[in-house]
Amino acid sequence: MRQSPVENDFLEAILRGDRLRTLAVARRHFQTRGLASLYEDMITPALQELGSLWERNAISVAEEHLATALAQSAIAALYPELQWPSGVAPAVVSCVGGERHEIGARMVADLLELDGWRVLFTGGDTPTESLLAICRRAEPVLVGLSVALPMHLETAQTVIAELRAAHAGVKIIVGGGALREPSAAARLGADGSAKSARAAVTLAAAWKRLDAGPGK
pTM, full prediction: 0.89
Which range is least confidently modeled, 15-19, 144-148, 178-182?
Answer: 178-182
In the chain, CATH 3.40.50.280 covers 89-205
**Nearest by Cα to 75 from 48, 102, 115:** 102
pLDDT in tens, 49-91: 998 999 999 999 999 999 999 999 999 999 999 999 887 899 9
Dihedral of CA atoms 22, 198, 115, 124 in degrees, nearest 10, equals: -60
Mean of pLDDT values over 163-171: 93
- The pLDDT score that the predictor gives to residue 215 is 44
5-81 maps to which CATH number? 1.10.1240.10
- The pLDDT score that the predictor gives to residue 184 is 83
- The pLDDT score that the predictor gives to residue 178 is 87
In the chain, CATH 1.10.1240.10 covers 5-81
Dihedral of CA atoms 64, 70, 75, 78 in degrees, nearest 10, equals: -170
CATH level 3 topology of 89-205: Rossmann fold (3.40.50)
CA distance linking residue 209 with residue 199, whole number of Å: 18
- The pLDDT score that the predictor gives to residue 7 is 62
